[in-house]
Structure 1
């Protein structure tokens, strides 16, 4: 699964992704990890959905050295880079819509700058709800929707992700059985924190 056009794009740029985009992604990773800490959930098992090159997993290892870290991404070449950059994390080729994990098996799910590329955001959030343990937390850090000029440029280059406003993120989370505890702007990103009731 996953958006086939986006998977091909990310496979093609995997070897140079960090050099080109790593600096821009670093604040999103820090925001996500800070949100996990603020949520007060101990990440015994942390899953990064859309893990890309594994940079967040490497940062999470420093913060939580005893946590079991897992990363999935639908782009095989991104997963190969992640396996090298975060060798102590378990990585797999998988999309948000079909997570290869058991029910209630994860304490924390994070996703940074990948939610807009999920082929089916509702199904992906339903999977997040399925794998989260009751009381577990999810954090999505994504770019806010662009203005009309940027949107046209992205459409013309066929790179238009489906970026959401805060009210839509809250509604999508609620529809998946998750409770949004925070959803708002931070450092140029939209940060959404959800919990699985229980």
Structure 2
């Protein structure tokens, strides 16, 4: 789950969140999901709030893309209600103790959320647990070492968030610590780190 202060903030702004959240670019998510060595039929949007990532990866329109099922797990009830109102399956839960079975999803997406989690290591370990062999974790985050990243860190501190931002290499190391094979797919203010769960053939 998010830190307690972060959850309370998202509870309060849930009705307005999608209006002011940055537009979700599905391309980095699709690129990451395409690295799975198995069909991606079920995706977990971890700490996904109103389901921005879930809607991005299930939207039609990409040639050759067969839209998977997606479920959002988040700690904020009001955010999840917004996800459900938009037709996305939503489950309230703690990112560090996911209410999902082992090996129950083909991919996990964490969009702009890892920095809010009080125990990102536990969340990444849980992502690895629920992934099926040859599935992928796709983390989309912001680099605090960039100019825009430093501004974002300052803005989140002003709001009162207890955020912990990591650069791409530190994020890749954390993904490796969770037992996944990491790679940095792109860098910049926004970056994407992939974690692949190696399967037994």
1:84 maps to 85
1:72 maps to 73
C-alpha change, 1:104 and 1:40, in structure 2 (3 Å) is closer
Question: What displacement does 1:183 show?
Answer: 4.5
Contact 2:186 2:192 in 1 (8 A): yes
Query: SS in structure 2 opposite 1:79?
Result: helix
Contact 1:182 1:191 in 2 (8 A): yes
Distance in 2 separating the partners of 1:62 and 1:145: 30
Distance in 1 separating the partners of 2:142 and 2:154: 16
Question: What displacement does 1:153 show?
Answer: 4.4
Contact 1:41 1:108 in 2 (8 A): no
Distance in 1 separating the partners of 2:34 and 2:151: 36
1:36 maps to 33
1:195 maps to 196
Contact 2:59 2:67 in 1 (8 A): no
Question: What displacement does 1:41 show?
Answer: 4.2
* Structure 2 runs not aligned, ≥5 long: none
Query: SS in structure 2 opposite 1:190?
Result: strand
1:118 maps to 117
* Structure 1 runs not aligned, ≥5 long: none
More helix by share: 1
2:53 maps to 56
How many pairs align?
192
1:10 maps to 10
C-alpha change, 1:102 and 1:13, in structure 2 (3 Å) is same
Distance in 2 separating the partners of 1:184 and 1:69: 24
C-alpha change, 1:151 and 1:110, in structure 2 (3 Å) is closer
CA RMSD of superposed structures (Å)? 2.1
Question: What displacement does 1:149 show?
Answer: 5.7
Deviation track 1:34-87 (CA, whole Å, cap 9, x = no partner) reads 3212445421111100222123222322346663321111111110000011x2
